[in-house]
Amino acid sequence: MEFDFDVHKIFLEPITKLDSSLIPSRRPLIASSEAQKQIMTVIDEIGKASAKAQRLPAPITSASRMQTNKHHLYILKDCTPKTAGRGAVIGFLKVGCKKLFVLDQKGSHIEAEPLCILDFYIHETLQRHGFGKELFTFMLKNEQVDVHHLAIDRPSEKFLSFLRKHFNLWSTIPQVNNFVVFDGFFRDWKASVKKTPAKRTEGEIKPYSLTDRDFLKQEEGLPWPFSQSQLNLNRASSLGSSPTRACSRHSPGEEDFVKSLRNCRPHSLHRTANSEQEDHSQRRRTSSLNRPQSIHH
């Protein structure tokens, strides 16, 4: 892909790595403002070409997206003599770390933050010339990551064929998201990976689990005579009889207690209260009589 400016002056290396600052490690040979503008133009154009090749409705790689995300963009330029004039861009590879919930071989959800392949494009006229492998190998070395530990966002069949041919990536682990991981993704893993905690079962809920409730019911006892009715209720339930019918039967001691409560008259309580008041007044008069009288001279 050619441009109306000299690509060699903004990209001094065969492969240039860019981050959110859009400033190459080796500074361009032209003024920074002009170089920044040209770099942004290159990113936007190659992003459009990649979206067109993948039949996407909109580009997923652009200068504005690069400035707002912590992604790395590797741009490969053509260094052959035929492009010695203004140069040309062959393709690019965009990577970035993302937090994902990945399924392992057993189907367990694992939270991970792997390096992800987000966009990959080689110009149509320069494919099958080894440029894709050169760019991919450079990225792996620079990021210091094993190819099995990569997660790939919505790879095309052509991209999967490329990975099988050059990196022997065949068996994939099925996922529920748009990312593809290969067998060996969890092998010798060095990044941050943790399994999501399993949901606790009903029996483990504290402090009032079903077991605790049964225990409290057994410990709490009713005073006599109500404990007898409870005993009869439990006995009737264990024998399979009706609980209501069992509760209607009273023990002899309970019947006497209920009758005594019914025969108890309310005025007896007032009589007891009056007797307590009389005793209190009597004590006050007695204490006043025993008090020694004052002596007058």
Which residues carry a binding-site annotation for acetyl-CoA? 120-133, 156-165
Helices (H), 225-266: 226-239, 243-247, 252-263
Cα 251 → chain centroid: 61
Q: How far is CA 89 from CA 2, 86, 201, 204, in A?
A: 6, 10, 58, 61
From the annotation, which residues make up the binding site?
A: 120-133, 156-165
Compute the distance between CA of residue 15 and CA of residue 75 in angstroms, rounded to an integer: 5
CB distance 118 to 36 below 8 Å:
no
Compute the distance between CA of residue 241 and CA of residue 236 in angstroms, rounded to an integer: 5
CB distance 45 to 3 below 8 Å:
yes
Cα 112 → chain centroid: 11
Write the DSSP string, 104-147: -TT--EEEE--EEEEEEEE-GGGTTSSHHHHHHHHHHHHHT--G
